[in-house]
Amino acid sequence: MEKKKFLERDDLETTSMEPLSPMSQMLSSPNLFIVITFGFKTKCNPSAFVEGFKTTLINAPRFSSKMVINYKKNGEPVWIPVSIRVEDHVTVPDLDYPNIENPDQFLEDYTSRIANIPMDMSKPLWELHLLNIKTSNAESVLLAKIHHSVGDGMSLMSLLLACSRKTSDPSALISNTSATKKPVKSMIPAWWLIAGLWFMIRVTFTTLVEFFKLMLTTCFLRDTKNPLMGNPDDGIQSWKVIHRIISFDDVKLVKNTMNMKVNDVLLGMTQAGLSRYLTTKYGKFKVLLP
């Protein structure tokens, strides 16, 4: 069965190729990838992970295809299905865990190290790192490094949910809670027409204003100088990854109080924290972020 599976992959390599989407072409640089940290309540079993990935993750076409930018010398970027060996994408570092004095700091350093290594474009663009290291918030850790052309955060979250199963029934998909629907107010048909027309006017006006602001920014305006702006002469700077744990209950409290989405809360937290840090460290920068 395994041999047959690989033969099918070889056949796909010559018959089934998909062109890269415009967004994937924009994100085709080896330095554009996503690093995700998963914490577990138990120790990792690498063999179980590998077997699980063989039946779930590699069934997604992008996880079993490699990117070729100049296919057959005509410059056409395509996804080419290839035979894949999951073990080649899963790294289990041989570490002396008992002698690691600060596991949290070690995890940040390890994450920073893989974040500074460009993605290997000669194979499917993902890799996993399993660390059976006990941190202050987890018994073991999984680091996933996935190229941005494979998917964005939303699509990767959807894939994670599709690969997950219930602990009570390993063969059953997890159930998602349905969003609460707001009651629809009844309205006279004529008012629906007026509301729709007003909405189109607002969208058109907003689009023109934003386009005008974009042209002004491009032609005349410049970003405010701040410590985040790099010097072109410095070249590529190294990344440093810092982990912080936040309470999701607090996030939901702010979300419900402010009547907004979780993404809005997280973005606001990041923006406010970054602005406060820069204002504290560099006092002359009073307004750094819009």
Region 2-163: CATH code: 3.30.559.10
Cα separation of 244 and 137, whole Å? 10
In what helix (H) or strand (E) does residue 70 lie, and over which residues does it extend? strand 65-71
Which residue in this structure is represented by tokens 């790099």? 230
What sign for the dihedral angle of Cα 32, 38, 43, 44? Answer: negative
* Closest listed residue to residue 30, CA positions, set 138, 137, 147: 147
Mean per-residue pLDDT pooled into runs of 10, the chain (290 residues): 41 64 85 91 89 86 86 73 90 88 93 92 93 91 93 86 80 69 64 87 94 87 70 69 86 92 90 84 56
Annotated catalytic residue, options 89, 129, 148, 243? 148
Radius of gyration of the chain (CA): 24
Cα separation of 136 and 243, whole Å? 11
Q: H helices then E strands: how many in the chain?
A: 8, 7
Is there a catalytic annotation at residue 129? Answer: no
> Rounded to whole angstroms, what are the CA distances from 5 to 8, 184, 273?
5, 51, 50
Q: Residue 121 in contact with residue 30, Cβ under 8 Å? A: yes
Query: What is the domain partition of the chain in residue ranges?
Result: 2-163, 246-290
pLDDT of residue 96: 87
Q: Residue 35 in contact with residue 108, Cβ under 8 Å? A: no
